[in-house]
Amino acid sequence: MKMLPMYKRTLLCLVGLLISLMIPGIAEAALLGMPQAYPDVTLNQAYLIYDNNAINNNTGLLKVVSFGSTLSKGPGAGNSTLTQSYTGGSDHTPDLMLSIAIDRTSGNWVNSNNSAANKVTIGFGNSVIPNGTGNTPGFKWTGKVTDFGWQQNTSTNPPYTYGTFFDATWKFTQDDYEDMPATMSQFVDGVLTSAMAPFNGGIKISNSAGFGAVPHPTAFQRDWVFGTNASRTNVQNLLSPFLTGLASNTCSNNTSSNCISYLNSTVTTDVFVPIPPAFWLWAGALGFILPSLKRKKHINALQST
């Protein structure tokens, strides 16, 4: 076989290198790359709480808690939204929305059998009375997390972007709705659960503070709380039901482990349905099954009274 001249081989190697550098997502190789889609639930005033040995000595647990949530049909479906709150009256505590098991050495997702791990638990708001006995609209999405990704460090010098973005995949196990407004009548009990059975949903989390100069894997071998004014005592008091078991000693430097950091950050979280199944659901299937499902729910409500 005839060999290429040295300069041609060098040129081909350089071209290959340039092509690899141009491939999107190289700098974020550990992200799953879930694109934003609709329907979508945005978690309002969310906090990230991570316990590096919550499950066992090898496995930590990331919790996302929220004071409210907003369900959106999306721009392609009229962009109607519905917001519900998890606080009110004497209740000032947010609700648990997500729990994700993470290997504290690698930062990878763990398929844990722990009953507290890998759950999507977006419940009804505090004002919603289930089973058709109230008139406050609300929604409930539950499911199982099936994978998790995070952004690697994309800079060798400050400002670091390490730990700024996370994403995940999940499977529906149940979707329920109460007294939905006419503009959101497409949302009917169980429709998304059935439609999404063959598909994964998506989760995207943004954390403006990032891990800073804390290197991997140390970032997953310490406890942390991210969110608006997370370093303030009054905020920590509101989050106290979710802080049990976290380290009591504050991390003193970037290499400290088995300690805790409370960091002020803007946290945004979206839980959504991928575009292809959602598109077909909204485009055709709902038009055929909606009337019968609404009649069934009405009959069940009457039978329960």
Is residue 10 over pLDDT 70?
no
Q: Please give the share of the chain, as a percent, with pLDDT higher than 70.
A: 76
How high does pLDDT run on average in the chain?
83
Is residue 203 over pLDDT 50?
yes
Is residue 26 over pLDDT 50?
no
Of the candidates 110, 112, 103, 117, the residue with the CA atom closest to the CA atom of residue 221: 103
The Cα 43–Cα 67 span in angstroms is 8
What pLDDT is recorded for position 131?
A: 77
Q: Which residue has the higher pLDDT, 44 or 285?
A: 44
Residue 50 tokens, joined: 């991570």
Is residue 305 over pLDDT 50?
no
Pick the range with the lowest mean pLDDT from 62-71, 77-86, 220-229. 77-86
The Cα 168–Cα 226 span in angstroms is 18
What pLDDT is recorded for position 114?
A: 97
φ, ψ of residue 107 to 5 degrees: the values are 80, 5
- For residue 201, what is the enclosing H or E element? strand 201-207
pTM attached to this predicted model: 0.82
Is residue 297 over pLDDT 90?
no
Is residue 236 over pLDDT 80?
yes
**Residue 67: pLDDT band by 50, 70, 90 thresholds?**
very high
The Cα 174–Cα 189 span in angstroms is 8
- Mean pLDDT along residues 192-213: 91
What pLDDT is recorded for position 275?
A: 53
Residue 169 tokens, joined: 């995949």
Q: For residue 247, what are the contacts with CB-CB under 8 A and spacing of at least 6? A: 222, 223, 258, 259, 260
**Residue 171: pLDDT band by 50, 70, 90 thresholds?**
very high
Is residue 77 over pLDDT 70?
no
Pick the range with the lowest mean pLDDT from 5-19, 198-212, 244-258. 5-19
Residue 6 tokens, joined: 């040295």
Amino acid sitting at position 123: G
Is residue 284 over pLDDT 80?
no
Is residue 208 over pLDDT 70?
yes
